Structure 1
Amino acid sequence: MYKGPEHYLDKDAAASRVMAHARLLLKLSRRFEAVAPAGLRHSAHVANYKLGTIIIHADNGAVAAKIRQLSQRLSNELSKGGAECSGIEVKVQPRQIPSQSTSSTQKPLSDKAIGILQSTTEKLPEGPLRKALDNLLKRAARVE
């Protein structure tokens, strides 16, 4: 009979506590999605639970402010889900968008800038700085 990884994680005391906390967070997340106003459901999420306080991460300040206004109602609703909720702490924590590129665009260098970099590079002794400047010059886009 196949026993999944949860079976083994539940057997170890420390891992069992982590698994119980993870299950609680999942339960609170689902409850939050069910009770939060429609406009906030996708702009905030349950991040943690500590000593009766639910920590919610909001995508921006406006969402955080609205959740703070609704915190007593949300706290009461989340308590009905089984977890003691004495309060809500809201933090602004924008989510990373996977499709959003974090790489910078390549900026073209003028012929003058390339000339200055080349002459500077030639004057440097062999080493990491010279190598980095050589690589920069090789990859540099030129202004046409």
Structure 2
Amino acid sequence: MTTTSRATMLMIPLSALLTACGGNAPDDAATPSASPTPASAIVDPAPPAFAVCRSCHSTQSGQNGIGPTLAGIAGSRAGNVPGYTFSPALKNSGIIWDRASLDNWLQGPMKMVPGTKMVLPVSDPAKRKAIIDYLETLK
């Protein structure tokens, strides 16, 4: 192989490499992306304290789980969610879910209404407040 042939063989890949390094990269970097927001960037309005509630309850109207949906619970009558079978004790309790009754309930469901299905209390007052604040936003 001649010296000219070797030089030509080296020039082709070097030219491609230099071309790839040049261009308008700073202008391209300043252009915002038009891609949609990833699901991980969507903010969940529920407080961290609500995570334990989510294991049994939905926040979507009409979607009962192990427990009834919590959509629209604030101001409603206990034991009155369509499609969910409540314990007779809760259904007949006459409770209206306001801040005070929700706080009492979360402190100890079985203490407030013996014979109810819900058994998990929330002992931390700050967590109860955060949960109740969130429940009041659900429609």
| TM bucket, shorter chain | under 0.3
- Please say which structure displays the higher CA radius of gyration: 2
TM-score, length of structure 1 as denominator length: 0.24
TM-score, length of structure 2 as denominator length: 0.24
Higher strand share: 1
Higher helix share: 1
